[in-house]
Structure 1
Amino acid sequence: MKLKLGMTGMDGPTQAALTEAFHAANQSSGNRFELSAAGNEADFVIVDMDSLYGPMSFMQLHNAGKHVIGYTQAPRTQSDSRLARPLDPAEFSNLLGMLADQRGAQPVLEDVQPEEPMPEPTPAAVVVQQAVVEDVAPLESAPPAGTTPAPKQQDHLPPSPAVTVAAPHPVAEAQPLVANVVPEPVHHATLADWLVAGALKGPVAFQRGDGPELRIHPVQREYQGPTGLKPLIAYFDAAVAEHDLRALADGDWQAGTAQPLTRLVWLAGLLAGNGRIVAGLPDHAHFQLTKWPQTEREYPKHFRIATAMMKGPATVEQIAEAASVPASDVADFVNANLATGFATASVDGVNAPAPGILGALRG
């Protein structure tokens, strides 16, 4: 049974080029893959990490437990595997072969269809064949010498009707079969997705309802908004489309009133798990602060949680018991500091990357 490969998070020309390259790479690596129209059914998914929606597609697929192949010109990527841009056909073939070997997929021989027998000619075809055969008269013996040969009787017969044979229609050249791969629907981004490095190309403003205006400058890694963070919690609840963000001119940025964008990233991580560690780490994972974070006055319990986490690696339950706070508060605090890089995670003594949106925010 062939492994399934999907593609998403890319424009049409990029997907068409990758699709064409896939057929050659798949054939040279044992023909062990087939393209899948639905990403949720694919064993592996190629994501264009250099596109606007690529990182968002990666986070969605990563959280769903898919093996993501990052197509990027960057030397490193957060995805499970990397496919370098510009595309190298040999590297693509080697990557498919390695992934297939890891899954134990065996090479698949191309199906060879037996030749079909030529169809029997139809009556109409027989008529045409007979019509194009030359009318050859039988050989006659030469007349005796000194006699005048009698006129041939057939010379006085009316001419036979002409037979018109239509010219054959030109045969169109066979076109290569290309799988009709339907890209996945674009992931509905939240404000957290727009805080991922590279998602925004310039300063923007965002406002929801009667809430305060929030201005984000991705290049300077700053934002302008209310002093506290809790007035912005509702901004992370629902989807935020690109047209919801208003581009700012250079003169719209108010110098001297900006705050570090890290605070917004911290809030995005705090709200990401809803009281649980973001999917991707087991319950027995251990967490530890590598340096003292800036604790917010709006969250007084965080000081006790930070004190407990500075003592050494511990599980969420162990930290909650040491700090005398609910485990849900610990999980949210851990998520926030994994997103900002102030905390690390380990599983059975081995460092583990920040999962999902936390790793994307952390970069």
Structure 2
Amino acid sequence: MTTRSICFAGLSRDEQATVEAAFKQANAAHRWALANENEAEAVVVDMDSMYGQMSLMKAMSGGKVVVALTAGGRVDTDFKLSRPVTAEGIATLLAELETQAPPVAAEPAPVEAPVASAPAPAPEPAPAPPADPHLADYLRPGALKGPVRLQMGDAPAIVLDPAQGVYLGGATLKPLLPYATAIVREADLEPVDPAQLPALATELGGSHPFSRLAWILGLGGFNGSLAPGFNPNDRYKLLKWPQTEREFPRHFRIATVMMKGPALLTEIAELSGASLAEVTDYVNASLAVGVAEPDVIAPSEPEPAKGGLLGRFRR
């Protein structure tokens, strides 16, 4: 029996421990091993966190079997693990993966043929280039081992402190927009001594939660297009009244429209007086921090089958 590998990505430390304990219990009747995100065959992505879409895109670009971990009903993946996670739910998932997503078989050894008739070997395909990393990728849990400082171009310097889930920088967000689309490599991140963090907070302008940074990165990251994984023909709603930034006065009107009920992006634009690109950027930012979601109507429960002709029509 082939051992297969799986990874649970983007969970908090407490939930990670709980889920891995449930996995060990569920795995008693299977043969799976936990692996890191780069090496795992299947990746379970926490779609309810602000980092969910980032992890989803990374896993898909890496050719992984992707499983959505969510408390919601709508997913854009072939497999789903419902929250709260239980050993029974994981056992069901492993069985589905084993049935519907068989492991990639190793290539058979070439059969030795006579030299005269041996065909010329085909050239090795070039490996796919790695996805360009962006600042949002470094906000995911476990992406950074310690605090780092970043300054690119004319954008203000910021310090990321993953242990506290905060960034050090000014209170305004518009100056950080260049970071939304910039390619940020590990060489651009300068390690910072944790003992320097209090002084840097004073120097740079204060300490703010990662969610504010994720919001501005979502706002400016897609240039008026909806973030990958979301459908522009869906209706979108706000789950709660968000913090509206004074730097973006039209956002108050957009949020007011969305709080009235689910609506198409075009409807929100028409009712708020904002452009479609502004509405789309705002929805991206709200999706990134988990205060918005697509409105999906759950399918109604089928009626129990009845006998006779009417029952057959209903079935």
- Normalising by the smaller structure, the TM-score range is 0.5 to 0.7
User: Which protein shows a greater Rg?
Assistant: 1
Q: 1:57 to 1:336 in 2, by over 3 A?
A: closer
Aligned counterpart for 1:249 among listed residues 185, 193, 203: 193
Asked whether the 8 Å contact 1:201–1:218 carries over to 2, the reply is yes
Q: 1:325 to 1:65 in 2, by over 3 A?
A: farther
CA shift, 1:213, in A, is: 1.2
Aligned counterpart for 2:272 among listed residues 323, 327, 335: 323
Q: 1:212 to 1:97 in 2, by over 3 A?
A: closer
Aligned counterpart for 1:339 among listed residues 284, 288, 298: 288
Q: Which residue of 2 aligns with 1:98?
A: 99
Pair 1:304 & 2:304 matched: no
Q: 1:301 to 1:66 in 2, by over 3 A?
A: farther
**Which moves more between the two structures, 281-290 or 336-345?**
281-290
Could you report, residue by residue, the CA deviation over 1:163-207 in whole angstroms, capped at 9, with x for unpaired residues?
Answer: xxxxxxxxxxxxxxxxx9997543221111111222122211101
Aligned counterpart for 1:279 among listed residues 209, 228, 253: 228
Q: Which residue of 1 aligns with 2:172?
A: 228
CA RMSD in angstroms comes to 4.4
CA shift, 1:274, in A, is: 1.6
Pair 1:194 & 2:138 matched: yes
Could you report, residue by residue, the CA deviation over 1:104-161 in whole angstroms, capped at 9, with x for unpaired residues?
Answer: xxxx9xx9xxxxxxxxxxxxxxxxxxxxxxxxxxxxxxxxxxxxxxxxxxxxxxxxxx
SS in 1 for 2:177: helix
TM alignment of 1:138-177, pairs within 5 A:
none
- Please, which runs of 5 or more residues in structure 1 have no aligned partner? 1-6, 9-44, 50-54, 71-77, 84-89, 102-107, 112-179, 352-363
Q: 1:242 to 1:193 in 2, by over 3 A?
A: same
Aligned counterpart for 1:314 among listed residues 254, 258, 263: 263
SS in 1 for 2:211: helix
Asked whether the 8 Å contact 1:47–1:57 carries over to 2, the reply is no
Pair 1:268 & 2:268 matched: no
In structure 1, C-alpha distance between the alignment counterparts of 2:214 and 2:182, rounded to whole Å: 16
Asked whether the 8 Å contact 2:181–2:221 carries over to 1, the reply is no
Asked whether the 8 Å contact 2:135–2:179 carries over to 1, the reply is yes
SS in 2 for 1:274: coil
Q: 1:47 to 1:181 in 2, by over 3 A?
A: farther
Q: 1:184 to 1:211 in 2, by over 3 A?
A: same
Q: 1:56 to 1:292 in 2, by over 3 A?
A: closer
Q: 1:286 to 1:350 in 2, by over 3 A?
A: farther
Percent identity over paired residues: 41
Q: TM-score, normalised by structure 1?
A: 0.51
CA shift, 1:279, in A, is: 2.6
In structure 1, C-alpha distance between the alignment counterparts of 2:227 and 2:54, rounded to whole Å: 16
Q: Which residue of 1 aligns with 2:87?
A: none
Q: 1:48 to 1:315 in 2, by over 3 A?
A: closer
Q: Which residue of 1 aligns with 2:57?
A: 59
In structure 1, C-alpha distance between the alignment counterparts of 2:261 and 2:44, rounded to whole Å: 38
Q: Which residue of 2 aligns with 1:29?
A: none
In structure 2, C-alpha distance between the alignment counterparts of 1:224 and 1:100, rounded to whole Å: 44
Q: Which residue of 2 aligns with 1:41?
A: none
Pair 1:214 & 2:212 matched: no
For 1:344, give the aligned amino acid.
E
In structure 1, C-alpha distance between the alignment counterparts of 2:257 and 2:175, rounded to whole Å: 28
Asked whether the 8 Å contact 2:135–2:183 carries over to 1, the reply is yes
In structure 1, C-alpha distance between the alignment counterparts of 2:234 and 2:132, rounded to whole Å: 30
Q: TM-score, normalised by structure 2?
A: 0.58
Pair 1:239 & 2:183 matched: yes
CA shift, 1:63, in A, is: 7.2
In structure 2, C-alpha distance between the alignment counterparts of 1:58 and 1:184, rounded to whole Å: 18
In structure 2, C-alpha distance between the alignment counterparts of 1:278 and 1:310, rounded to whole Å: 21
Give the length in aligned residue pairs.
223
Could you report, residue by residue, the CA deviation over 1:35-54 in whole angstroms, capped at 9, with x for unpaired residues?
Answer: xxxxxxxxxx64597xxxxx
Q: 1:64 to 1:251 in 2, by over 3 A?
A: closer
